[in-house]
Amino acid sequence: MDETMKENRNGLILLAGGLIGLLAGLAAAYLLIKKQEDTGQSIKITTGDGLKIGMGAVSLIKLASDIAVKPR
């Protein structure tokens, strides 16, 4: 595979990953807003909640990177 094809493929992978991340973030924000409207209470994200979200994101990134390195 020549260098130009590799760069194009890498660019497409980055674009797809960015779009997936954007859509996931928008969906999460929408769900938080919807939950706030349904309960009538403001949603307060604690430090523990932020840590859980962060660890979930790290786990998701690890899962995505493991897909690329499948044993043959």
The structural domains of the chain, with segments of one domain joined by +, span 3-67
Q: Indicate whether 1 pLDDT > 70.
A: no
Instruction: Calculate the dihedral angle through the C-alpha atoms of 24, 29, 35, 36, rounding to the nearest 10 degrees.
Output: 180
User: Is 67's pLDDT higher than 70?
Assistant: yes
Residue 36 and residue 43 in contact, taking contact as beta carbons nearer than 8 Å: yes
Confidence of residue 72 (pLDDT cuts 50, 70, 90): low
pLDDT of residue 48: 95
Cβ-contact 44, 32 below 8 angstroms: no
The pLDDT tens digits for 2-31 are: 777 777 888 998 999 999 999 999 999 999
Mean pLDDT confidence for 43-67: 90
